[in-house]
Amino acid sequence: MKRVAVQAGDFDVATELAALEALGGGGVASFTGVVRGGGGLVALELEHYPAMTQAQVDRICDEAMARWPLLGLSVIHRFGRLEPGARIVFVGTASRHRAAALESCAFLIDWLKSQAPFWKKEHFADGAAGWVEARAEDEAKAKGWIG
Amino acid sequence: MKRVAVQAGDFDVATELAALEALGGGGVASFTGVVRGGGGLVALELEHYPAMTQAQVDRICDEAMARWPLLGLSVIHRFGRLEPGARIVFVGTASRHRAAALESCAFLIDWLKSQAPFWKKEHFADGAAGWVEARAEDEAKAKGWIG
Amino acid sequence: MLTIVYFAWVRERIGLDEEQVARPDAGTSIADLVAMLAARGGGHAEALGDATRLRAALDQRFVALDSPIGDARELALFPPVTGG
Amino acid sequence: MLTIVYFAWVRERIGLDEEQVARPDAGTSIADLVAMLAARGGGHAEALGDATRLRAALDQRFVALDSPIGDARELALFPPVTGG
């Protein structure tokens, strides 16, 4: 099972996890990213490169399935305007081996954070707005994984 | 937030994850263990050491919270008779740092698999039954983490 | 008296969840006590005859089998855990 | 012609989602083309003046800025990604 979705709308984590649990692998790992509030943030705007995103996420999912013995995975990334508390991203993996489920989940979220063609703009209560700067750490981490 | 439950009944993963997402950390990792079927398995029977389990799980949760910058965690372990497809164990962690959420989740599930006072007995369709043997790998891994 | 609790196949082979035994000298190790119990024969011998297959806890703390029993109130004997 | 697509603050500073430019020689690098575009001044200079802040993709594949444009149909220019 490979489910990849790049969408504006929210998703239901329980539905995703139930599908992964039903694969019978015994172990399901997940990571959910949520918009953090604070500092007067009123919304995050996520822009992406539609022609590239789905294909790239699809490709990295194939890589994860080649590298770890996975029974299935589910990757969802939202775009558009998201308020604090909203889910942005979900990665779920299922395997007979808990280390495979956990490591592939970490691999995929690291990749999404550092290599997927998404850009975040922060909007603040005072009307200010600015693009989030990439963290050097994330760029370095992605290179380590991807080789 | 620290939630520790050792219980016979099932649990709702969505409820656990929603509580962790609501902490505002931005990252929530989870691992769910499910009874694997196959080989004629009809049920798994989980025995535990009640006087020890809750206190031990509680202690390891404190250790995880001391070791990683976590906003919260939730650990649930079931006991009793569980059929294939049933959830056995859940670990959820919330942090501002995705690596902290993922690593502490891996730490906790490794500990539960190798150090928590639970024993599994397999019951098969032909009436046979036998206790699951500990994997040397799990004992070794736990020693590495616990130091 | 010392309470001994058994789990998993140790419990099944002995046929008891727990039992009380006369408190040994504080310096007696768990391994020494296990050997004395195994010497009873029957289920005890079956369950406790091979100490390398056993793990132990004193007052709900995992300890090595060569630990002295000291003034512990509860000794637990069981196979390596298989939780999660 | 070559289609260039822009994202995030590169798009905002230039004021365009995409534009068509005359196809440069196949051996021209992305960095060379970026320098030519920046030389137009205005939003292009603002967005593309410092190539160290830019990343690129050719036909939806990430590539280094010193890569030749070759026969690609679409060049994308953008800041380092910040997804997840």
Please check the confidence at residue B140 and state whether its pLDDT lies above 70. no
pLDDT at residue A138 in the model = 62
Task: Please tell us whether the domain made up of C2-78 is placed in CATH 3.30.590.10.
Answer: no
- State how far the alpha carbon of A90 is from the alpha carbons of A7, A13, A17, in Å: 12, 8, 10
**Count of CB atoms within 10 A of residue A13's CB?**
22
Answer whether D5 sits within 8 Å of A49, measured CB to CB. yes
Binned at pLDDT 50, 70 and 90, residue A119 comes out as: very high
Quote the DSSP letter at residue D26: T
**Single-letter residue type at A136:** A
The residue of chain B nearest to residue C8, with distances taken between CA atoms, is B119
Compute the mean pLDDT over every residue in chain A, rounded to the nearest whole number: 92
Binned at pLDDT 50, 70 and 90, residue B141 comes out as: low
pLDDT at residue B22 in the model = 94
Rounded distance between C-alpha atoms, residue D3 and residue D16, angstroms: 12
What digits encode the pLDDT tens for the residues B94-129? 999 999 999 999 999 999 998 899 999 999 999 999
Interface residue ranges in chain B relative to chain A, Cβ cutoff 8 Å: 12-14, 17, 21-22, 24-38, 84-85, 87, 96, 98-99, 101-102, 105-106, 109-110, 113
Cα within 13 Å of Cα(B3), Cβ side:
19
pLDDT at residue B145 in the model = 47
CB A27 within 8 A of CB A95: yes
CB A33 within 8 A of CB A89: yes
A120 touches chain D (CB under 8 A): yes
Rounded distance between C-alpha atoms, residue A130 and residue D9, angstroms: 9
Helices B50-67/B98-114 angle, 10° precision: 160
Tell me the mean pLDDT in the region D57-84: 95
Q: Which residues pair with C56 in a beta bridge?
A: C63, C77
Q: Which domains does chain A have, with CATH numbers?
A: 2-143 (3.90.1170.40)
Please check the confidence at residue A2 and state whether its pLDDT lies above 80. yes
D83 touches chain A (CB under 8 A): yes
CA pseudo-torsion sign B100, B106, B109, B114: negative
Instruction: For B38-100, give the DSSP string.
Output: -TTEEEEEEEE-HHHHHHHHHHHHHHHHHHS-EEEEEEEEE-EEE-TT-EEEEEEEEESSHHH
pLDDT at residue B142 in the model = 56
Answer whether A55 sits within 8 Å of D83, measured CB to CB. no
Binned at pLDDT 50, 70 and 90, residue B146 comes out as: very low
What digits encode the pLDDT tens for the residues B25-58? 899 999 999 999 989 999 999 999 999 999 999 9
Residue A96 Cα, gap to closest chain B Cα (Å): 8
A49 touches chain D (CB under 8 A): yes
Please check the confidence at residue B17 and state whether its pLDDT lies above 60. yes
What digits encode the pLDDT tens for the residues A35-45? 999 899 999 99
Residue B112: helix, strand or coil by DSSP? helix
Place of tokens 């408190």: C23
Closest CA to A121 of A15, A69, A46, A65: A46
Phi-psi label, residue A73: left if phi above 0, alpha if psi -120 to 50, beta otherwise? beta
pLDDT at residue A146 in the model = 39
CB A60 within 8 A of CB A18: no
Report residue D64 as tokens: 């280094």
- A101-132 in b/e form (b: 16+ CB < 10 A) is bbbbbbbbbbbbbbbbbbbbbbbeeeeeeebb
CB B20 within 8 A of CB B72: yes
**Which of A24, A30, A113 shows the shortest C-beta gap to B30?**
A30
The residue of chain B nearest to residue A32, with distances taken between CA atoms, is B28
Angle at CA of residue B34, ends B46 and A65, nearest 5°: 145
Cα D76 from chain centroid? 5
Binned at pLDDT 50, 70 and 90, residue A147 comes out as: very low
Answer whether C57 sits within 8 Å of B117, measured CB to CB. yes
Residue C41: helix, strand or coil by DSSP? coil
Low-confidence winner among A131-135, B122-126, D34-38 (lowest mean pLDDT): A131-135
Low-confidence ranges of chain C (pLDDT < 70): none
Q: In what order do the strands lie in the sheet with B27-34?
A: A2-7, A70-78, A87-95, A27-34, B27-34, B87-95, B70-78, B2-7
Tell me the mean pLDDT in the region D44-49: 97
Closest CA to C84 of A20, B116, B59, B48: B116
CB C18 within 8 A of CB C4: yes
A123 touches chain D (CB under 8 A): no
> How big is chain A by its Cα radius of gyration, in Å?
16
> How big is chain C by its Cα radius of gyration, in Å?
12
- ipTM of the shown complex: 0.88
